[in-house]
């Protein structure tokens, strides 16, 4: 049953006084805790230490390529096979390059913006001085939004529901405005809301290219495809094969990396699309590099081998990550389940089946204040608003919690302060309003 602290003004004021006293005590402790970025912890990174030395001096790829030398712009054949297994497509539809999927995504957007596939197809030319635009299902990944900002692409927020982006809105927008050239998608365990796109959503996305035009691109950032927190993970429909069936594969770039499988920053990144797009993109990348780090590709192929080996490896990651997510959820459950202020829940939060984040929603208008209070008390959180284009969360409710990096004791300490700050901010505002 809900217990509403505002039922009694005096009780609420007394509770606020208690919270403020506790908060003042915390301020004197000089804490330094961090729940900001979704980085793997040291224990997770340790799981891949065998990458070091795995080649034992054998630098030859299966086709005889000497991986120490230049070349191989599309990636090693065996690395492309690994990528194809991960992204569920054919090896010819993949390109493996660099250590970061963000870098590949940036290159894709840049290539289409500046060059495009044929004469006149560049987004910037087509815009003729107008603004190229991207749809941004929100809340979303802040670094996607930074790519748009860096290239001067206008961002249009689109509602992200439990099934994925609001497809009615998406279809309407792309049909109304030909300068909308793309959409960012994190289809599985979305950053930060953790949702998985439904099959119906993926089917509609597969047909989006035919509504939006030949040079529209879906950036399908499948960063968390194998990063499960539950034993029976939800399935994601295969956008690449659905798009191929309806003739829109050119409209899709599917992306992944091993940043959160092996070493973040020293993993391999890959992309899948139509063979034409792969060829065009490889040509563009050849202006950027004479070839990717094939030694690292070979190390990864030897270490990760195939989907079954990846799954077994990710099970070990899950054993490390799950207790951390459970601990955050325990604190939220204990502090807020059934608790209301001013007749509304103090907060709501997600219970993700995978990925790296828990999304907490404050009452409207309080996320910034909660992040400020927690920050002053020594707990760093992702800035409120960061999960929205231009840093503008219209409701000011979203707070992204990232428990992967800190140790359990640090999470417990941080969550005590976080829950205290949420209650403090909520009660204070409610009493000021009444």
Ligand X SMILES: Cc1ncc(COP(=O)(O)O)c(C=O)c1O
User: Does residue 415 interact with ligand X by CB under 6 A?
Assistant: no
Q: Tell me the closest approach of the beta carbon of residue 350 to ligand X, in angstroms.
A: 15
Q: Which of 269, 328, 367, 401 binds ligand X (CB under 6 A)?
A: 269
First to last CA, the chain: 23
User: Does residue 109 interact with ligand X by CB under 6 A?
Assistant: no
Per the listing, tokens 């404050």 go with 362
- Strand boundaries in 29-153, DSSP class E: 33-35, 94-96, 133-138
Q: Tell me the closest approach of the beta carbon of residue 86 to ligand X, in angstroms.
A: 12
- The residue (of 138 and 257) whose beta carbon lies closer to ligand X is 257
Q: Which of 223, 239, 373, 425 binds ligand X (CB under 6 A)?
A: 223
Taking the CA atoms of 107, 111, 117 and 121 in sequence, report the sign of the dihedral they define. Answer: positive
User: Of the listed pieces 96-104, 194-202, 227-235, 303-311, which binds ligand X according to CB under 6 A?
Assistant: 96-104
With residue 398 as reference, give the H or E element that holds it: strand 398-401
- The residue (of 144 and 181) whose beta carbon lies closer to ligand X is 144
User: Does residue 142 interact with ligand X by CB under 6 A?
Assistant: no
- The residue (of 141 and 418) whose beta carbon lies closer to ligand X is 141
CA–CA dist 321, 317 (Å, integer)? 6
User: Of the listed pieces 98-106, 118-126, 272-280, 420-428, which binds ligand X according to CB under 6 A?
Assistant: 98-106
User: Does residue 38 interact with ligand X by CB under 6 A?
Assistant: yes
Q: Tell me the closest approach of the beta carbon of residue 100 to ligand X, in angstroms.
A: 3
User: Does residue 262 interact with ligand X by CB under 6 A?
Assistant: no
User: Does residue 100 interact with ligand X by CB under 6 A?
Assistant: yes
- The residue (of 12 and 239) whose beta carbon lies closer to ligand X is 239
CA–CA dist 25, 33 (Å, integer)? 16
Residues 185-204 within binding reach of ligand X (CB under 6 A): 186, 191
Closest C-alpha among 357, 423, 342 to residue 387: 357
Structure tokens at 425: 């901010």
Q: Are 97 and 104 in contact (CB under 8 A)?
A: yes
Q: Are 257 and 148 in contact (CB under 8 A)?
A: no
At residue 153, φ and ψ (nearest 5 deg) are -95, 130
CA–CA dist 419, 346 (Å, integer)? 10
Contacts with ligand X by CB under 6 A lie at: 38, 100-102, 141, 186, 191, 221, 223, 257, 259, 264, 269
């Amino acid at each position: 049953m809900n217990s509403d602290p505002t039922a009694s003004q005096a009780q609420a004021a007394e509770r606020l006084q208690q919270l403020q006293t506790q908060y003042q005590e915390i301020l004197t402790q000089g804490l330094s805790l961090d729940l900001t970025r979704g980085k793997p912890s040291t224990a997770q990174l340790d799981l891949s230490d065998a990458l070091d030395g795995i080649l034992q001096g054998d630098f030859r790829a299966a086709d005889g390529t000497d991986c120490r030398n230049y070349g191989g712009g599309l990636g090693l054949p065996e690395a492309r096979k690994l990528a194809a297994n991960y992204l569920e497509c054919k090896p010819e539809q993949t390109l493996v390059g660099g250590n970061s999927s963000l870098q590949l995504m940036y290159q894709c957007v840049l290539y289409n913006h500046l060059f495009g596939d044929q004469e006149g197809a560049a987004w910037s030319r087509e815009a003729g001085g107008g603004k190229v635009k991207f749809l941004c299902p929100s809340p979303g990944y802040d670094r996607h939004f930074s790519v748009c900002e860096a290239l001067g692409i206008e961002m249009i927020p689109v509602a992200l529901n439990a099934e994925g982006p609001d497809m009615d809105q998406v279809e309407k927008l792309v049909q109304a405005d030909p300068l909308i050239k793309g959409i960012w998608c994190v289809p599985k365990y979305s950053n930060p809301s953790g949702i998985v796109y439904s099959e119906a959503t993926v089917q509609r996305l597969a047909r989006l290219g035919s509504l939006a035009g030949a040079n529209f691109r879906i950036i399908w950032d499948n960063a968390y495809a194998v990063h499960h927190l539950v034993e029976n993970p939800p399935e994601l429909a295969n956008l690449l094969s659905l798009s191929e069936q309806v003739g829109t594969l050119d409209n899709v770039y599917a992306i992944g990396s091993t940043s959160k499988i092996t070493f973040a920053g020293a993993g391999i990144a890959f992309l899948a699309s139509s063979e034409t797009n792969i060829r065009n993109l490889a040509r563009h990348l050849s202006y950027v590099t004479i070839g990717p780090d094939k030694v690292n590709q070979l190390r990864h192929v030897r270490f990760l081998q195939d989907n079954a080996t990846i799954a077994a490896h990710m099970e070990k990651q899950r054993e490390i990550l799950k207790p951390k997510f459970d601990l955050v959820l325990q604190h939220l459950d204990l502090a807020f389940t059934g608790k209301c202020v001013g007749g509304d829940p103090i907060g709501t939060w997600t219970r993700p089946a995978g990925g790296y984040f828990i999304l907490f929603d404050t009452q409207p208008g309080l996320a910034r204040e909660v992040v400020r209070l927690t920050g002053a008390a020594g707990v760093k959180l992702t800035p409120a608003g960061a999960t929205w284009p231009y840093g503008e969360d219209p409701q000011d409710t979203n707070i992204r919690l990232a428990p992967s990096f800190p140790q359990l004791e640090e999470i417990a300490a941080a969550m005590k302060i976080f829950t205290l700050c949420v209650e403090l901010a909520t009660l204070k505002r409610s009493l000021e309003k009444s």
